Amino acid sequence: MSANNATAGTAGSGFHDFEHLTNQARQAAAGLTQGFGDALRQLQAMQIAPEAWSQLQSDYLQQAGRLWNTAIAESHEHGAHAAPAPLKDRRFADASWNDNRLAHFTAQLYLLNARTLQQMAEQVQGDEKSRARVRFAVQQFIDAASPSNFLALNPEAQQRALSTQGESIARGVQLLIADAQRGHVSQTDETAFEVGRNVATTAGDVVFENEFFQLLEYKPLTAKVHARPLLMVPPCINKYYILDLQPENSLIRYAVAQGHRTFVVSWRNPDASCVHWTWDDYIGQAAIKAIEVAREITGADTINTLGFCVGGTILSTALAVLAARGEHPAASVTLLTTLIDFSSNGVLDLFVDEPSVRLREVTIGAQANGGPGLLHGQELATTFSFLRPNDLVWNYVVGNYLKGDAPPAFDLLYWNGDATHLPGPMYCWYLRHTYLQNDLKVPGRLTVCGESVDLGAIKAPVYIYGSREDHIVPWDAAYRSTQVFSGKKRFVLGASGHIAGVINPPEKKKRSHWIGKGAALPADSQQWLTTAAEHPGSWWPDWSQWLAGHAGPLKAAPRAPGNREHRAVEPAPGRYVKQRA
């Protein structure tokens, strides 16, 4: 017998009498209810007003009574085969949750308990940040406690085990062991992709490199190109190829096809030799250096620039440093889902306060007693996944381990799992001076690369994009950048989230975007939204038209990448992006 067959046989025999799980499920449901009861008592201890607590108790007992009476009535009055009302939550969408009376009741009880805990969290007294933390923690508990996450309570997974004679359980165990070795829950088939083979495939060359980054120049797709090149600065907390996943959804390829001579920063994935790197290094040795090299290669006095997420924060800081030196190399600035004013930043604010930042500083920052260290990429990836746990964690726990379904191949999720480290000193500086103290937007408060930083000194026009459902950079936080820069500004709001809103090629004809009427950009984002007009499809053509107005005349495309001083080092995507965390 093969190893796989042996494993399957063992699992199949172990679950031969799988029907007895119904009785086990009753006990597990009682344990789940007790767990919710413990959470209720802990929340009560967090100072909920007595009258609010009494009302919540009364409402809960009434709803629980109705739920129980309905379950009894459906069972006795309408017969054993009467279908209960279907559950609307997508975690319980499979027919087995309706067919199995106990599972249906357990799911209904869970949803009632979840609503009650959420209502209690809303009633907790205290400052807004503390209350938000309570709400977040309660939601994490609620999502983790769903009966769909447990084999003994999930009828769909139980039926799968029975119909496959335990094979699904054996596959689930194998997937669990493989993920334990990887150190994370798999969201896609990671063997289906390879950087440079079927992701990050737009043709180009590395034309410069130092220890911090490689600069990629892409092969023109048009006979003529605009006189001013375009430099893209992606986030350093991810790999750059989110901008170049596949030819049909590549923003890089789109820019090249629009006649822009395009350069992209590909960040090095830091290792133990890079633990001393600082924010100043990322600005001076990377962003400013990339601007210098792009100008040297093309001979252009000014260039168009684009920053995505943290890349936009880095780019803006670099341009402010250059402005303080009397240099204005940017003909335009595009900021995609970028934070400049960190006044309020949604759920990420919950993780940042003085004690948490101080802890980082003394463990991995420049002040660390044992020397600086790295923020490991998997820690960042896990944090971002738990901002949407049902979609990015528990969905895969159920599918992979309980049902034994290997996750399908998906380029975006492959990129999402391709983690990058961050040097401790750089990360700690960024946390303190942006999320914690919101220093960047205040003229003269920060000194970077020896210069006093004033973003208002950047003279270039700015195109600012935000995504309406973005949970990492809320769109109103992205909009606040309109109040910081002093040049001409254009704000565009796209549908969907942090990634899907940005990576939205026109050919797909998906989603929509909003453009304000006239040039007015009031301080209140909601005021802007009330007058903005919705347009179907991608925001890319609007940006392309805006960018063309700053790109200069057309001239013959270069025949070769780089120049005499900066010759091609290797083909794109280069070595740096292939370094795994």
Whole-number CA gyration radius for the chain: 27
Q: Name beta bridge partners: 374.
A: 423
Q: Are 330 and 319 in contact, with CB atoms under 8 Å apart?
A: yes
Q: Show the DSSP H helices in 386-500 as ranges.
A: 389, 395-396, 411-417, 424-430, 475-479
Residue 533 gets the label, from left (phi > 0), alpha (psi -120 to 50) or beta, of beta
Please, where in the chain does CATH 3.40.50.1820 lie? 204-347+424-578
Pick the range with the lowest mean pLDDT from 4-13, 153-162, 237-246, 360-369: 4-13
Residue of 21, 23, 29, 28 whose CA lies nearest to 159: 21
* pLDDT tens profile 498-508: 999 999 999 99
Alpha-carbon distance of 439 to 344, in angstroms, equals 13
Alpha-carbon distance of 538 to 553, in angstroms, equals 26
CATH architecture of the domain with residue range 204-347+424-578: 3-Layer(aba) Sandwich (3.40)
What average pLDDT does this structure show over 288-292? 98
What average pLDDT does this structure show over 534-538? 97
Pick the range with the lowest mean pLDDT from 1-15, 99-113, 119-133, 184-198: 1-15
Q: Are 151 and 158 in contact, with CB atoms under 8 Å apart?
A: yes
pLDDT number for residue 70: 83
**Three-state SS for 111?**
helix
Residue of 419, 434, 430, 368 whose CA lies nearest to 237: 419
Residue of 313, 334, 338, 379 whose CA lies nearest to 472: 338
Among residues 236, 274, 309, 449, the one annotated as catalytic is 309
Annotation marks residue 428 as catalytic: no
* pLDDT tens profile 107-151: 999 999 999 999 999 998 888 888 888 899 899 999 999 999 999
* pLDDT tens profile 383-439: 888 888 999 999 999 999 999 999 999 999 999 999 899 999 999 999 999 999 999
Q: For the chain, give the percent of residues with pLDDT over 70.
A: 90
Average pLDDT over all residues of the chain: 90
Q: Dump strand ranges (E) for 344-479.
A: 374-375, 422-423, 447-448, 451-452, 462-467
pTM of this structure = 0.89
* pLDDT tens profile 464-497: 999 999 999 999 999 999 999 999 999 999 999 9
What average pLDDT does this structure show over 76-102? 80
pLDDT number for residue 34: 54
pLDDT number for residue 166: 95
Query: Is residue 331 exposed (0-12), middle (13-18) or buried (19+ Cβ within 10 Å)?
Result: buried
Alpha-carbon distance of 62 to 107, in angstroms, equals 18
Residue 8 tokens, joined: 């399957």
Q: Are 314 and 283 in contact, with CB atoms under 8 Å apart?
A: yes
Alpha-carbon distance of 416 to 188, in angstroms, equals 10
CA 167 to chain centre: 34
Residue of 213, 224, 353, 225 whose CA lies nearest to 291: 213
Alpha-carbon distance of 414 to 200, in angstroms, equals 12
398-429: buried (b, 16+ CB within 10 Å) or exposed (e) per residue?
bbbbbbbbbbeeebbbbbbbbbbbbbbbbbbb
Residue 195 has pLDDT above 90, yes or no: yes
**Three-state SS for 52?**
helix
pLDDT number for residue 23: 42
Alpha-carbon distance of 313 to 503, in angstroms, equals 19
Alpha-carbon distance of 409 to 392, in angstroms, equals 15
